[in-house]
Chain A
Amino acid sequence: MGKQKKLGRGVTIVGAGMSKFGMFKDKDSKDLFAEAFNEMLSSVDKGVDPDDIEALYLGNFSNDFFVHQAHWGPIISDLIGLAPKPSTRTEGACASSALAFREGVFAIASGFYDMVLVGGVEEMSKCSTEEVAEGLALATVPYEGNVGFTFPGVFGLIATAYFAEYGASHEDLMNVTIKSHNNAPLNPKAQIPFSIRDLMNNKLARIKKKGGPVPQWEDEKAFLRDISVNPVVAWPMHLYDCCPIRDGASWMLVVAEDMARNFTDPPIHIIGMGQGSGRGFHAADSITSFEATKNAAKEAYGMSGLKPEDIQFSEVHDCFSMAEIIHIEDLGFFKPGEGYKAVSDGLTRLDGPKPINTSGGLKCKGHPVGATGVSQLLEVWKQLRREAGQRQIPNENLRIGAAHNLGGTGGTCTFTILERR
């Protein structure tokens, strides 16, 4: 019931790595995992003997559909030399690896293991856009899929309800896109490492080179208003409101708190964790809010004893521009109906009071669905360790950050709060 959630013992993150996210015709899931695994090993300051890893938790939504191969736990366990130790696959649509992370944390908190590896993977670029849309639509609730909803459609639907309720418009969503793209060039792992202004100027240069009429885009919004470069996918979601869904893998090394300093200084502590389930729009309390996110936030704030204003920065699941606004309201960072104003006022920029998606978010970093949850936690881990390079948040006292991951049409959401002590 209202019981405050807590871990049986402290758990920390001491290493993390991710592959580049993108479209890789010449790499498969195993190659991407190997790339991420090597980066994870070299991220452990004082080194780690892979023999000491006791179990593997792996998030994957649907490689079964995308590359016709299921049962990825033992495949990856064998790849990195962990077999015959246990491997477990978790599935929660786009939140699959956040669930793997939670299972790993619970296993350590229970005292059963001291060191586990958690991660996620997805390999989607071998499918056509239509096939990917069909595969992802498997994660809608049945009544939504039946009438032809797609994922962009679901967030288009939320947008029309939000606009009607609060008076916002597609122009407001553009501020989210522009903000996320401004962070992207600062992230060497971003799939689309360009600002909207860069993309606009590149396009203009190509048009001028080819000859013909040159568009008159006075600014980024004029560019985004032009449906010849930013066509409708599911109104009002346009191309630049949607994140790219391709290939990638991510890993994290999770260990018991009492041994963390053997591996790194500083470890990052898990101080709040929450998860929730949703019910589909026909049954949900609201169309402009995810009850699964609210439940996840309630659990995580309860466990940590923190309030939304204590979270200094957060990664949130911006699969679509509209999603980011809903999440920053559901997580309590801004009041319902005020998220879009906060974005247009610059409050969520890298140098603002509440930076959101410093990685460039799913929008620019890319969204290989099963790999996303752990990659979001990786960004928070890097920021707290002051290892985020050019996109480091300019705050000397950065101590508490969070990551929010959403699966399906809000069917599974997680919220995790991390702390540097």
Chain B
Amino acid sequence: MEERPFSDLSYVQYLNEEKLMGSRCKHCDALYTPPRSICIKCYKSDMEWVEMKGNGKLAAFTCIAVGPPRMIAEGYDRNNPYCVGVVELDEGTRVDARIEGVDPKKPETIKVGMALKVKFLHRGEGETRVTYLAFTPQ
């Protein structure tokens, strides 16, 4: 795999290409999502890219009714909340993500522990195109 720097920017670029990537320390095998350039277990800076399978389970979530301007611009508000969560990947690491395919108006139907798979949400076009990491129920 090509050697991009193990940075937040690379992580975002990969998301744009519909890849959820982490970094693994070649020295001690520790795995990180999002990627780290410095291993915080052995302090070496010798990493390799690893593509995550994109399966995991919901570790925690919330359904937000009062969001920041960016989310309001997407049409979310008090009557149309959105769900975000922390997902524990099958590989053992965690990521923050939007949770799609659930009903944020009925949060009691969303369960910690539910099985999820990755989904890439693209917003905007050209220069302003961004990709958000999301997960949906399997």
Q: CB-CB < 8 A to B61: which residues of A?
A: 156-157, 160
A282/B86 in contact, CB under 8 A? yes
Q: How far is the CA of A247 from the CA of B65 in the complex (A)?
A: 24
Within 8 A of B (CB), among A127-143: 129-131, 133-134, 137, 142-143
- Scan A99-143; emit 1 where CB is below 8 A from any B CB, else 0: 000000000000000000000000000000111011001000011
B68: interface (CB < 8 Å)? yes
Q: CB-CB < 8 A to A160: which residues of B?
A: 60-62, 112
A153/B84 in contact, CB under 8 A? yes
Closest residue of chain B to A144, judged by CB?
A: B96
B99–chain A nearest beta-carbon distance, Å: 9
Contact of A235 among B63, B96, B133 (CB under 8 A): B63
Q: How far is the CA of A129 from the CA of B78 in the complex (A)?
A: 13
B60/A158 in contact, CB under 8 A? yes
B64/A147 in contact, CB under 8 A? no
Contact of B34 among A129, A281, A282 (CB under 8 A): A282
Contact of B86 among A157, A232, A233 (CB under 8 A): A157
Contact of B81 among A129, A131, A232, A282 (CB under 8 A): A232
Q: CB-CB < 8 A to B124: which residues of A?
A: none
A200–chain B nearest beta-carbon distance, Å: 22
Q: How far is the CA of A143 from the CA of B36 in the complex (A)?
A: 13
A231/B68 in contact, CB under 8 A? no
B65/A232 in contact, CB under 8 A? yes
Pick the most buried of A146, A163, A231, A283: most chain B CB atoms within 10 A of its CB: A146
Within 8 A of A (CB), among B47-98: 59-72, 78, 81-82, 84-86, 93-98
B68/A234 in contact, CB under 8 A? no
Contact A282-B95, Cβ < 8 Å, known A152-B64, A157-B62: yes
A259: interface (CB < 8 Å)? no
Contact A231-B34, Cβ < 8 Å, known A148-B70, A157-B60: no
B96/A233 in contact, CB under 8 A? no
B60/A281 in contact, CB under 8 A? yes
A148/B113 in contact, CB under 8 A? no
Contact A156-B64, Cβ < 8 Å, known A148-B84, A149-B84, A287-B86: yes
Contact A148-B71, Cβ < 8 Å, known A235-B63, A287-B59: yes
- Scan A150-183; emit 1 where CB is below 8 A from any B CB, else 0: 1011101111110110000000000000000000
A237: interface (CB < 8 Å)? yes
Q: CB-CB < 8 A to A407: which residues of B?
A: none
- Scan B124-136; emit 1 where CB is below 8 A from any A CB, else 0: 0000000011000
Pick the most buried of B67, B69, B113, B132: most chain A CB atoms within 10 A of its CB: B67
Contact of B72 among A130, A146, A157 (CB under 8 A): A130
B61–chain A nearest beta-carbon distance, Å: 5
A92: interface (CB < 8 Å)? no
Contact A282-B96, Cβ < 8 Å, known A143-B34, A150-B66: yes
Contact A133-B66, Cβ < 8 Å, known A142-B8, A146-B96, A281-B94: yes
Contact of B69 among A134, A144, A157 (CB under 8 A): A134
A234/B66 in contact, CB under 8 A? yes
A193: interface (CB < 8 Å)? no
B68–chain A nearest beta-carbon distance, Å: 5
A401: interface (CB < 8 Å)? no
B62/A147 in contact, CB under 8 A? no
Q: CB-CB < 8 A to A159: which residues of B?
A: 62
A232/B34 in contact, CB under 8 A? no
A130/B68 in contact, CB under 8 A? yes
A366: interface (CB < 8 Å)? no
Q: CB-CB < 8 A to B66: which residues of A?
A: 129-130, 133, 150, 152, 233-234
B68/A148 in contact, CB under 8 A? yes
Q: CB-CB < 8 A to B23: which residues of A?
A: none
B5: interface (CB < 8 Å)? no
A411: interface (CB < 8 Å)? no
A164/B113 in contact, CB under 8 A? yes
Contact of A148 among B33, B64, B78, B94 (CB under 8 A): B64
Q: CB-CB < 8 A to B132: which residues of A?
A: 146-147
Within 8 A of B (CB), among A230-280: 231-237, 280
Q: How far is the CA of A150 from the CA of B96 in the complex (A)?
A: 13
7 chain-A/chain-B pairs, Cβ below 8 angstroms: A130-B66, A157-B84, A159-B62, A160-B62, A282-B33, A282-B34, A287-B60
A-B contact sample (14 more), CB < 8 A, given A146-B132, A233-B66, A234-B65: A130-B66, A131-B69, A147-B133, A148-B64, A149-B64, A159-B62, A160-B112, A163-B112, A281-B86, A282-B86, A282-B95, A282-B96, A283-B94, A287-B59
Going nearest first, the 4 A-B pairs with the smallest beta carbon separation are A156-B62, A161-B60, A164-B112, A235-B63
